[in-house]
Amino acid sequence: MTDRVAGKVCIVTGGAMGLGEADSRRLAQEGGTVIVADIADDEGQKVASEIGGEYYHLDVTNEEAWVNLIAHVKEKYGKLNVLVNNAGIVIPGTVETCSEEDWRAVNAVSTDATFYGMKHAIPLMRESGEGCSIINMSSIAGIAGIPYVFSYAAAKGAVRLMSKAAAVHCAQNGDKIRVNSIHPGGIVTPMTQKVGAQVAAAMEEDPRNSQPVAGTTPGEPDDIAWMVVYLASDESKYTNGAELVIDNTVTITEGIVP
Ligand SMILES: NC(=O)c1ccc[n+]([C@@H]2O[C@H](COP(=O)([O-])OP(=O)(O)OC[C@H]3O[C@@H](n4cnc5c(N)ncnc54)[C@H](O)[C@@H]3O)[C@@H](O)[C@H]2O)c1
């Protein structure tokens, strides 16, 4: 432990498992006070108790629930320094096969929730006058046009540019609030274990793909969590409105690096 985020109050959405769990563990290890916010109550409570943090049941798609969470954080901790908008879901489907229901579900958890989270966190962050950081989890799907996860690509593209618009807004206000997006690719988590195989199968079965699908060595959640610690800490005080791609070259090599 090196106390890189000592004294900082941090919310991690989707903190019960996968990338959010790793973020929560590393932020706590580095001295942060962590609120694990999720709908997976058992897993979230376990993580929170192991890291000495708090579990808070939050459905990120519900704006009123966000209002209540921010009020709770203000009342209990007096301030908020870090928000990791990490919760996300992916439902495979192309522009032609994606249903309206799937479109709305995926965008609710990423697009709507990232908007609600930033909207309600920023005023409390501003009040403290301390260095604050919003970290939005986008994806390489928010940069490259991956056809098999159409609604997810749309949502993650929205997260990418909402981050920049909010970063400029805060900078214009003179707030000490930075906003950045992270774009992971191929990290082993419950999400990729479940959906990754479905997407890979869709690619393999697509007769328009003449090339075999390249296998890329997957990353691990800590590969993302250390970036979250950096962005949460004051070490990154000049990093604002940036998009941090963590994919071992996948987006620039079409996955040809094993
Ligand atoms: N794993 C990867 O390779 C990868 C790549 C790119 C982007 N991402 C993004 O990183 C984030 C985390 O992904 P992961 O792989 O850890 O996923 P995961 O499915 O393993 O974990 C997601 C977490 O979000 C929670 N969640 C889902 N819906 C929620 C809701 N409505 N309210 C609150 N919590 C909710 C889940 O309960 C779970 O704890 C997501 O935004 C995902 O899109 C992951």
Helices 150-173, 100-107: inter-axial angle, 10-degree rounding: 30
* 7-16, 207-216, 219-228: segment of lowest average pLDDT: 207-216
Taking the centre of ligand 1 as the mean of its atom positions, its distance from the CA of residue 191, in whole angstroms, is 6
Question: What Cα–Cα distance (Å) separates residue 96 from each residue in 90, 150, 152, 160?
Answer: 16, 9, 14, 24
Locate the ligand 1 atom nearest the alpha carbon of residue 15 and give its number. Answer: 39
Distance, in Å, from the CA atom of 166 to the CA atom of 135, rounded to the nearest integer, reads 11
Is residue 214 predicted with pLDDT exceeding 60? no
Buried b (16+ CB within 10 A) or exposed e, 216-231: beebebbbbbbbbbbb
Pocket test for ligand 1, best of 24, 115, 189 (most atoms within 8 A of CB): 189
Q: Which domains does the chain have, with CATH numbers?
A: 9-246 (3.40.50.720)
Q: Does 104 or 213 have the greater pLDDT score?
A: 104
**207 C-alpha to ligand 1 centroid (Å):** 30
Nearest CA to ligand 1 atom 36: 14
Count of positions (residues) in the chain: 258
Q: What is the pLDDT of residues 126-167, one digit of tens each?
A: 999 999 999 999 999 999 998 999 999 999 999 999 999 999
Q: What pLDDT was estimated at residue 212? A: 55
State CA 67 to chain mean position distance. Answer: 19
Contact between 167 and 241 under an 8 Å Cβ cutoff? The reply is yes
Which residue's CA is the closest to the ligand 1 atom numbered 40?
88
Question: What pLDDT sits at residue 215?
Answer: 60
Give the whole-angstrom CA distance, residue 189 versus residue 27. Answer: 18
The Cα-based distances of 122 to 14, 130, 234 in angstroms read: 19, 12, 17
Q: Phi and psi dihedrals of 135, rounded to 5?
A: -120, 115
Active site residue 152: yes
* Mean residue pLDDT across the chain: 94
Q: What is the pLDDT of residues 160-209, one digit of tens each?
A: 999 999 999 999 999 999 999 999 998 999 999 888 778 777 777 777 77
The Cα–Cα gap between 120 and 48 comes to 23
Instruction: Give residue 90's pLDDT band: very low, low, confident or very high (50, 70, 90).
Output: very high
pLDDT, tens digit, for every residue of 9-19?
999 999 999 99
**Whole-angstrom Cα distance, residue 155 to residue 153?**
5
Query: In angstroms, what CA-CA distances link 91 with 19, 115, 180?
Result: 18, 20, 25
Cα(168) to centroid of ligand 1, in Å?
26
Q: What is the pLDDT of residue 167?
A: 98
- Binned at pLDDT 50, 70 and 90, residue 253 comes out as confident
- Please give the order of strands across the beta sheet that includes 177-184: 54-57, 33-38, 9-13, 82-85, 132-137, 177-184, 243-246
Residue of 151, 183, 191 to mutate, ligand 1, most atoms within 8 A of C-beta:
191
Q: Is the dihedral of CA 118, 121, 126, 128 positive or negative?
A: negative
Whose Cα sits closest to atom 24 in ligand 1?
14
Q: Write out residues with Cβ below 6 Å of ligand 1.
A: 13-14, 16-20, 38-40, 58-61, 86-89, 109, 137, 139, 184-187, 189-192
The model's pTM: 0.96
Cα(229)–Cα(65) distance, integer angstroms: 26
Nearest CA to ligand 1 atom 8: 139
